[in-house]
Amino acid sequence: MSEQKNSTPSLPVLLGVMGDPIAHSKSPAMHNAALQAAGANGIYMPLHVRPEQLESAIRGIVALGYRGVNVTIPHKEQVMQYLDVIDESARLIGAVNTIVNEEGKLIGYNTDGIGYVRSLKEEAVPELAGKRIVVLGAGGAARGVIYALALEKPERISILNRTADRAVALASDLRAHGLGDITGGGMEEAAAVLASADIVINTTAAGMHPHVDDVPVDPALIRAGAAVSDLIYNPLETRLLREAKQRGCIVHGGLGMFIYQGAVAFEHWLGIPAPVETMRRAVLDSF
């Protein structure tokens, strides 16, 4: 009688993104293309999770054997209370967008800021050390971006926000963590602050579809030759970037941040380099 070999097929790597709503997300198209390009047996699924279902959904990561998930609006802050470990940068930022399941222990990371800085350096400004940076907006997106920028040792970071108190509070909080010369103020200071800026970054929703004619600040205040970056990726080129380009500025759109935050998450889950160009093509094709 011939001996029969026992062979257990390897289970697919289960990944997904939790949000409410979630049908619009480009993450499944991007990550499934990445999995295929990397030769990984896996699937990445959109997971519609309402706020009242969040705790049960997080427990389900372990119960169902997910390797990890991304977390998007409106769960990035609330999810932190259900995790076992929170990465230092995610704790300081106050939000988690990536969860890794390490044998039942759920670890929370924030890849938004580091993904943004990787994109900015790859696509527009290779060296950030010593630069004078102006960040427009003081919300959650700004916090993650500023944290990651500060690690690059710029000369200073100035935060401008419609509500000056919010910018001042954010700057004070980040300075308290030893992150360098960070100041906050109102948009009425824009002319003076932008005149000497090397890099201007929009983290507000001004210019996002469908309000494509909005700008966060008058582009004429930005000096020619500065780099202008916008976190918005729909449209791919905002009015701010279009007018900055006409002024001779280097421009950088938000698509790269979305791709690179996904790439960093992919590397956390699979432990291999992410196929960034495949991910970029997949997102562009999904529009």
Q: What is the mean pLDDT of each run of 10 residues along the chain (287 residues)?
A: 53 96 94 98 98 98 98 94 96 95 98 96 97 95 95 98 97 95 98 98 94 96 97 94 97 96 98 97 94
- Write the pLDDT tens digit of every residue in 28-70: 999 999 999 999 999 999 999 999 999 999 999 999 999 999 9
| pTM for this entry | 0.88
Which pLDDT value is given to residue 9? 64
Residue 26, marked binder = yes
Residue 226, marked binder = no
Which pLDDT value is given to residue 194? 98
- 112 three-state secondary structure: helix
> Are 153 and 130 within 8 A, CB to CB?
yes
> What is the location of CATH 3.40.50.10860 in the chain?
13-110+257-286
> What is the location of CATH 3.40.50.720 in the chain?
113-253
How would you classify the pairing of strands 182-186 and 156-161?
parallel
CATH architecture of 113-253: 3-Layer(aba) Sandwich (3.40)
Residue 242, marked binder = no
Which pLDDT value is given to residue 137? 97
Which pLDDT value is given to residue 3? 47
Residue 76 annotated among the catalytic residues of the structure? yes
Which pLDDT value is given to residue 7? 52
Question: Which CATH number, 3.40.630.30, 2.30.30.240, 3.40.50.10860, 1.10.10.10, labels domain 13-110+257-286?
Answer: 3.40.50.10860
Residue 88, marked binder = yes
User: Active-site residue among 76, 131, 153, 245?
Assistant: 76
Structure tokens at 159: 């935060």
Which pLDDT value is given to residue 178? 92
Residue 166, marked binder = yes
CA-to-CA separations, 239 to 4, 34, 221, in angstroms, rounded: 67, 31, 14
